[in-house]
Amino acid sequence: MSARFENLLYEVKDAIARITFNRPAVLNALNRKTIDELGDCLDAARNDNTVRVVILTGSGEKAFIAGADINELAQRTPVDGKEFSLYGQEIIHRLETLGKPSIAAINGFALGGGCELALACTMRIASRNAKLGQPEVKLGILPGYGGSQRLSRLCGKGIAHELILTGDMMTAEEALRIGLINRVVISGRERGEAIKLAEKIIAKSALTVKIGKEGFYRQLEMPLAEAYDYVSGVMVENLLTFDAEEGISAFIEKRDPTWQDR
């Protein structure tokens, strides 16, 4: 199944929803129309029971998303800017809380809003020629879609401060070293590697993956003792499912499990 959008390509195949940012002439820069369409794609993926994993990438080989559309940004007033920031935060939060794993296949520049969007994905795979960063400070502005919060949680406060206050870009290898991405692959193979990773997830119980992903996200905001207690409750919920019983039985009986997602 595929759907037609002006700035995005959306296709569902083999339980994977593929969202491709498709403005190569401007390095897939984010404008209001693109954010609108991303929200529609995420809603479609959330409501489609055949979709197990979402992969996001960019058209061409130069950019995942090179940042905001500066021409559009230049026309915004402070009031407009706040509204657009809140709107972008809501759409990216929708990605983060989709209930299904998402993988960013970063095929070039992932800067500004593009880096912020990649940070909201569950996992990130980058080509060797990828460049990542939050260069907004070079324009006299700051990240508006939650980049500072996600960067500090993922890589630590020191790294987040350095990237946001200098605006420096980093290579894929450096991003891997600081934990910003999961792996680096030969250029051109990032989408294929994302599909392989998605297929590993799809082979597992959809219900268990959903419980695990939602539980992981919620506990991040809890004090440690509260998170421990919460995880114990999630484990009880998980053990009451058919798939938990089936998985344990299959292991003991040395056979492949037959998941029923219940």
Between helices 206-219 and 224-239, what is the axis angle to 10°?
Answer: 170
Please report the beta strands in the chain, taking only residues with DSSP state E, as ranges in sequence order. 2-4, 8-13, 16-21, 53-58, 63-65, 102-106, 109-111, 123-127, 131-133, 170-171, 183-185
Known catalytic residues are: 116, 136
**Interacting residues of 235 by C-beta distance below 8 A, sequence separation 6+:** none
Residue type, 261: D
Helices 78-96 and 113-120, packing angle to 10 deg: 30
| Residues 127, 170 contacting (CB under 8 angstroms) | no
Which ranges of 76-205 does DSSP label H, i.e. alpha helix?
Answer: 78-96, 113-120, 147-155, 157-166, 172-177, 190-202
